[in-house]
């Protein structure tokens, strides 16, 4: 199968002289997690993702970080080491590029220039349509799961993510899965570098009470724990399930991480990256 048969033809681009606010508005308007940055000739020179917005603008640092986002050039936060692929190449080459470079999307080029984009989401759809019965979850899952206790601090969570170069952590309590944490759960906290901890600022969140109703609570970000920010609405899967079932759950639930449980024991985690490795 060729890349041009799997890719998304509709790709949103932004000029290199635009500002961060414009990129953010484009993502919100079109429901996207990335935009391609192009030069005056419409050649891709960079990419901006939700992760770039969350991580590169957080915390203290250079004076430009304290400007309004409509005053910050897109060039300051874009990833300029961009990888592309030809539209006529095999889909497997796109998988290889993503895995080798730890990225989630690749702009697609043809003789006329930028032709589209291929993402892990596109590859997941391809996997679902072509690989039913090929692999079990146990064949593709990651067996060494990085976990935290629900009472671990937010700075510890971030440090583990950075050290292990991962984007999802399973939260445990009393040897049971209590929740899962992804970058989306921590982006609001505006954390600093893990070496220095997190920014101390007062935030407000709604705490559900056991007897019903909500109570507005205040807490310093520096005191947040894994239990405060984790997503409790998670799904899990058996290692004996077809990997296509895992891919469908990820697509339906909008998640990229599913804990793998054998009876009641956590035995692994399966991610979008794990699934696309099964494309052979």
Q: Residues 166-183: pLDDT tens digits?
A: 888 999 998 899 999 987
As for how many domains the chain has, the answer is 2
Measured between alpha carbons, how far is 84 from 102 in angstroms, rounded to an integer? 14
Question: Is the residue at 68 inside a domain?
Answer: yes
Helices then strands, counting H and E runs in the chain, come out as: 10, 13
Measured between alpha carbons, how far is 279 from 80 in angstroms, rounded to an integer? 28
Measured between alpha carbons, how far is 203 from 57 in angstroms, rounded to an integer? 18
Question: Is the residue at 207 inside a domain?
Answer: no
Cβ(192)–Cβ(117) under 8 Å? no
Look up tokens 């600022």; give the residue.
201
Question: Is the residue at 259 inside a domain?
Answer: yes
149 and 272 together in one domain: yes
Give, for 160, the enclosing helix (H) or strand (E): helix 154-164
pLDDT by residue (tens digit) across 200-246?
443 334 444 445 554 444 444 556 789 988 989 899 999 999 999 99
Q: Give the confidence band of 56 by pLDDT, cuts at 50, 70, 90.
A: low
Q: What is the CATH number of the domain that holds 115?
A: 3.10.580.10
Measured between alpha carbons, how far is 112 from 119 in angstroms, rounded to an integer? 21
Cβ(19)–Cβ(69) under 8 Å? yes
Question: What residues are paired with 176 via a beta bridge?
Answer: 173
| Domain housing 270 | 138-188+224-276
Supply the pLDDT for residue 182.
Answer: 82
% of residues, the chain, pLDDT over 90: 48
Q: Which of 106, 130, 154 is the last residue of a domain?
A: 130
Look up tokens 């469908």; give the residue.
248
Within 8 A by CB and 6+ apart from 153, the residues are: 223, 224, 225, 226
Question: Is the residue at 83 inside a domain?
Answer: yes
Task: Assess whether pLDDT exceeds 80 at residue 70.
Answer: no
Measured between alpha carbons, how far is 4 from 116 in angstroms, rounded to an integer? 8
Pairing of strands 176-181, 214-220: unpaired
pLDDT by residue (tens digit) across 259-268?
999 988 999 9
pLDDT by residue (tens digit) across 87-108?
999 999 999 999 999 889 999 9
Q: What are phi and psi of 212, to 5 degrees?
A: 105, 155
Question: Is the residue at 202 inside a domain?
Answer: no
Selected residue with higher pLDDT from 192 and 120: 120
Question: Is the residue at 217 inside a domain?
Answer: no
Give the pTM.
0.78
Measured between alpha carbons, how far is 261 from 212 in angstroms, rounded to an integer? 31
User: How many Å separate Cα 70 from the centre of its chain?
Assistant: 24
Cβ(148)–Cβ(158) under 8 Å? no
Question: Is the residue at 199 inside a domain?
Answer: no
Cβ(53)–Cβ(24) under 8 Å? yes
Question: Is the residue at 76 inside a domain?
Answer: yes
């Amino acid at each position: 199968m060729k890349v041009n048969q799997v890719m998304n033809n509709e790709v949103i681009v932004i000029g290199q002289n635009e500002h961060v606010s414009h990129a953010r508005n484009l993502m919100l308007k079109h429901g996207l997690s990335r935009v391609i940055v192009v030069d005056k000739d419409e050649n891709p020179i960079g990419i901006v993702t939700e992760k770039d917005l969350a991580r590169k603008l957080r915390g203290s640092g250079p004076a430009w970080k304290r400007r309004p986002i409509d005053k910050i050039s897109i060039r300051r936060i874009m990833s300029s080491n961009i990888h592309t692929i030809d539209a006529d190449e095999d889909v497997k080459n796109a998988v290889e590029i993503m895995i080798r470079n730890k990225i989630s999307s690749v702009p697609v080029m043809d003789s006329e220039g930028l032709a589209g984009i291929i993402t892990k989401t596109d590859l997941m759809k391809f996997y679902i349509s072509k690989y039913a019965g090929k692999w079990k979850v146990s064949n593709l899952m990651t067996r060494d799961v990085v976990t935290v206790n629900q009472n671990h601090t937010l700075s510890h969570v971030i440090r583990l993510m950075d050290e292990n170069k991962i984007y999802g952590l399973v939260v445990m309590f009393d040897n049971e899965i209590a929740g899962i944490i992804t970058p989306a759960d921590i982006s609001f906290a505006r954390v600093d570098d893990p070496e220095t901890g997190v920014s101390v600022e007062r935030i407000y969140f709604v705490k559900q009470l056991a007897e019903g109703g909500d109570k507005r609570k205040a807490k310093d970000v520096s005191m947040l724990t894994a239990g405060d920010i984790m997503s409790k609405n998670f799904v899990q899967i058996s290692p004996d399930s077809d990997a296509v079932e895992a891919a469908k759950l990820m697509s339906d639930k909008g998640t990229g991480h599913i804990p793998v449980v054998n009876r009641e024991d956590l035995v692994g985690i399966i991610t979008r990256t794990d699934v696309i490795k099964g494309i052979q």
